[in-house]
Amino acid sequence: MSETKTAWYFIVNPRAGSGKAMSEWVPAEQMLAQEGIPFVTATTDHKNHAVALAHDAAAEGYRKIAAVGGDGSLHEVLGGICSWCAETGTSPEEFYLAVVPIGSGNDWIKSCHVPNDATSVVKLIIGNSFGWMDIVRAVSRDGKTNYVANCAGVGFDSHVCERVNRQKEQGKRARLIYLKALRYTLFHLKPIKIVVWADGSAVFAGEAYSLAIGNGPWSGGGMRQVPLATNDDGQVDYMVVPKARLLRLSREIPRLFAGTTHESSLVVTGRCKSLKITLLDEASADIIEYDGEVEGQLPLDLEVTGSRIHVLKG
């Protein structure tokens, strides 16, 4: 095993924030150099490249790894660290994870009270402002494994992300695309037939439009589907939206932004250490999103592993 390195390893997504990543990263990089903080930088050039870079950095002995980008970059970096830990039996508690936010959503930083400003985040890194985050592992169809920094979801949740990501690829940005995707999906989505198990007990069975799972409360550029979630309590929060009249559901949309979904009589909510989604028919093998990235299909086994990782907190 390689000797542990003290330098920070920054993984930069140059396409983050509509391509403004490098212009925002350069001043932060200069600040690190001026403060005498040892660091190296690597840039990504394709989707999931940050997974490989973080994995290899961990293998080379780096224990301080940061994503320069948005929630998708964070998701990949966490996945690379955790996959290496799983392969080698190393505890994630050896690692320090930070995000220099240069993305469009930046929901994870809200959960950790981190400012949405690159140079301010560098000051937190220099000041060693870190807390803990639970490691949440998700295994979907064909054994595909992901690690959840902030949120996961199926149905309405995953299809909104799919539509938003498609529009981002076309160069569209701003919070408005989330709202438009939300409204479009609400009136075009078909329910899926599932059973939801929380800590081994069935909490829902039947037709549902959506299921959101939160290690943190924020998602979708400012929505709070699971507003009571915290990422260091050893549990995840969930919200199931059963099939109902669409007009009635549409009236509940403001709750997503007000943080009051748990007060709605239309949804099923709870908190657990493990959550499982099984299918009542094969047509319900819906897509899954993790931290805004669509990766995998139902069925799903998700659990808070009991391990933690140091993360930047304001």
Asked, for residue 224, whether it belongs to a domain, the answer is: yes
pTM of the shown model: 0.94
Same domain, 27 and 87: yes
Do both 235 and 121 map to the same domain? Answer: no
Q: pLDDT 10s digit of each residue in the chain, 314 long?
A: 579 999 999 999 887 755 566 778 888 999 999 999 999 999 999 999 999 999 999 999 999 999 999 899 999 999 999 999 999 999 999 999 999 998 666 899 999 999 998 889 999 999 999 999 999 999 999 999 999 999 999 998 898 888 877 876 666 655 677 777 777 887 788 999 999 999 999 999 999 999 999 999 998 778 899 999 999 999 999 999 999 998 898 899 899 889 999 999 999 999 999 999 999 999 999 999 999 999 999 999 999 999 999 999 98
Orientation of helix 21-34 relative to helix 118-126, angle to 10°: 30
Q: Based on the number of CB atoms within 10 Å of its own CB, is 73 exposed (0-12), middle (13-18) or buried (19 or more)?
A: buried
Pair (106, 164) in one structural domain: no
Residue 94 lies in a domain: yes
CATH of the domain at 92: 3.40.50.10330
At which of 104, 128, 152 does a domain end? 128
Domain count for the chain: 2
CATH of the domain at 216: 2.60.200.40
Cβ-proximal residues to 172 (8 Å cutoff; 6+ apart), any chain: none
* Cβ atoms < 10 Å from Cβ of 191: 18
Note whether residue 23 is domain-resident.
yes
In a domain, 314, yes or no: no
Looking at 218-266, which runs of residues are DSSP E strands? 236-242
- Alpha carbon distance 210, 288 (integer Å): 11
* Nearest alpha-carbon partner for 146 in 291, 1, 275, 314: 291
Whether residues 157 and 122 share a domain: the answer is no
Do 57 and 18 fall within a single domain?
Answer: yes
Q: Which domain holds residue 100?
A: 5-128
Determine phi and psi for 95, rounding to 5 degrees: -105, 150
Last residue of a domain, one of 103, 128, 153: 128
118 and 222 part of one domain = no
Q: Is 265 exposed, middle or buried (0-12, 13-18, 19+ CB in 10 A)?
A: exposed
